Amino acid sequence: MRTIRHYIDRRAEEQPDKIFLIAPEPGLTLSYGQIKEDSAELGKHLLSKGLKKGDKVSFMLGNGYQTTKIFLGAMYSGFVIAPLNLLAQPSQIEYVLEHSDSRMVFFTSDQQEKLEAVCKSLSRKVELIQIDNDAPRIFPKNEDLSGLTLPPVLEEDDALLLYTSGTTGVPKGVVLSQKNMVSGGLYTAMAHELKPEDRALCSLPLYHINGEVVTAVCPLVSGGSVVMPHKFSTSDFWDLISEYRCTWFSVVPTIISYLTNGTEIEGKGLHLDQLRFGRSASAPLPPALQRAFEEKFKIGIVETMGLTETAAPVFSNPIDFSKRKCGSPGQAVGNEAKIVDRYGEEVPRGTQGEIMIRGDNVMKEYYKAPDQTAKAIEPDGWFHTGDLGLMDEEGFVYVTGRLKELIIKGGENIAPKEIDEVCYKHPAILQAAAVGIPDERYGEEIMLCCTLKPGQSLAEEELRVHCELHLGKFKTPKVIRFMEDLPKGPSGKIQRLKLPELVKRMEGAAGS
């Protein structure tokens, strides 16, 4: 049975005293036996407040002890967890709460003012429950819940409602079933050959699919454990791995860049001999950055790829580093993949087209959007990722861009990723993202937005010469803008489509 309840019950029976969760800041741990007991208790409290199976329960919380328990406990008990993005603007939070039909929101005091203001604009009452994320308990122990029974939980029941970042329009609510969530965890464990003795460090938020499936659900289904600090910190990252003997971690390229350029491990007496690998996902990992990280820390990075709609993992490189291919997120693991042309026909190996996925990890639907669901999922189960790529003879996929992000200059399709990677080869560049902007001559021209590594300086013309050397004149950016930072989503992925408007506002402010 592929449900969160099945795996919590199974682990609690097989290894009740084994530690599943470590919360470093309060110094709290949670055993498998405790997570079963606390999940059932949470579910009964929700029933006592009038909620029923399938109702949506939200949280507006950073990572931590209680966040993890609410996330897993709600799904265990037959409710649908609908996390709120801490980085979202009030208008987005209002839309998500209204659209999701959420009945309740758990939050911490730092979110109170924003959340209460948003709830005043909603068409229905939403119960707000303020908690201490580091406290051992949420509800009083002495409440009598003996007369309440949790409803049965089935594979096809809804488990998670998560909204996409909405960079191209109104956020879409992705509905993932119990089967989807468990399959995502199982495929991750399969790809990385995870065993019960493995322990993950969670560096990504539990309101993002990567943090949710890869570092919360995956350790559960593999029988392992997870260290759950409040948030990622360059200053604490290696210390946490050393102190808690983590065997793997999951990050995004932005974090890999921060670690490579901002941390040192030599001479600090850290215990890293147990660390098997790092995992990178949510955005393409520039090969130059991967090599720089591995040369500095002597720790291999497994590049992967996933989507919210596929419960995170889709592709992964092999855990055997001799078999991986830099620049590729790897091969399909658990699910199927193919590359198709604009008519939906599979193309020969090495030919660019749209990447499609089919498997038990593919979402049930977009919430309240049957037309969008029908466009995204074919009747035979194949899902349109919207990503462009090609597949080699060994099944390794290479992502070349997104259908909506392609720059079309003079009728020529240009993948922004190609320009990004050339920029990352320059030693002064920390972040880079190319995007199309309107142009009277070509229809679209190329604008490059980038940030510099600390202490580095770079003239616009020097970067343009670097691009021309590697890309040629046609693909060299016409406009280059140096910025303090680039806009990112909750996973750390650069939100390319926000750049033109952001640059326009910055230039308008500078000229006023």
Rounded CA-CA distance 23/451 in Å is 34
Distance CA 480, CA 464 (A): 8
Question: For position 165, what pLDDT does the model report?
Answer: 57
The answer on pLDDT for 323 being more than 70 is yes
CA-based nearest residue to 333, from 230, 217, 189: 189
CA–CA distance, 405 with 496 (Å, rounded to integer): 8
| C-alpha span between 482 and 202 (Å, rounded) | 31
Q: What confidence tens digit (pLDDT) does each residue in 90-124 have?
A: 888 999 999 999 999 999 999 999 999 999 999 99
From 116-125, 133-142, 174-183, the region with the lowest mean pLDDT: 133-142
Bridge partners for 301 per DSSP: 278
Instruction: Show the tokens assigned to 434.
Output: 């190319």
Q: Are 175 and 365 in contact (CB under 8 A)?
A: yes
> Which segment of 157-161, 227-231, 368-372, 437-441 scores lowest on mean pLDDT?
437-441
CB contact at 8 A, 424 and 404: no
User: Which pLDDT does position 365 carry in this prediction?
Assistant: 98
pLDDT tens per residue across span 274-293: 999 999 998 788 888 999 99
- Output the pLDDT for position 501: 87
Q: Give residue 140's pLDDT band: very low, low, confident or very high (50, 70, 90).
A: confident
DSSP 484: S
CA pair distance 224, 9, nearest whole angstrom = 14
Q: Kindly compute the dihedral angle of the four CA atoms of residues 228, 231, 232, 238, in this order, to the nearest 10 degrees.
A: -40
pLDDT top residue among 488 and 278: 278
What is d(CA 206, CA 385) in angstroms, rounded to the nearest whole number? 22
- For residue 387 the two structure tokens come to 């990503």
pLDDT of residue 506: 83
Average pLDDT, the chain: 93
Task: Look at strands 225-227 and 19-23 and give their pairing.
Answer: parallel
> Token pair of 154, please?
């089935």
Residue ranges of domains in the chain: 4-138+149-391, 405-511
- Which pLDDT value is given to residue 166? 44
Q: In sequence order, what are the beta bridge partners of 432?
A: 450
User: What is the per-residue pLDDT across 184-204, written as a single tens digit (0 to 9) for each?
Assistant: 999 999 999 999 999 999 999
Q: Where are the beta strands (DSSP E) in 108-259?
A: 127-130, 158-163, 173-177, 199-202, 225-227, 248-251
- Domain 4-138+149-391 is found in CATH 1.10.1740.10: no
Average pLDDT value for residue range 339-347:
95
Sheet of strand 443-452, all strands in order from the earlier edge strand to the far edge: 429-439, 443-452, 479-482
C-beta of residue 279 within 8 angstroms of C-beta of residue 301 = yes
For the domain spanning 405-511, the CATH number is 3.30.300.30
Which pLDDT score is estimated for 168? 42
| pTM of structure | 0.86
pLDDT of residue 453: 95
Per-residue model confidence as pLDDT tens digits over 362-386: 999 999 999 999 999 999 999 999 9
Strand partners, 480: 448
Asked whether the predicted pLDDT for residue 273 surpasses 90, the reply is yes
CA pair distance 25, 240, nearest whole angstrom = 11
What is the C-alpha to C-alpha distance for residues 205 and 212, in angstroms, rounded to an integer? Answer: 8
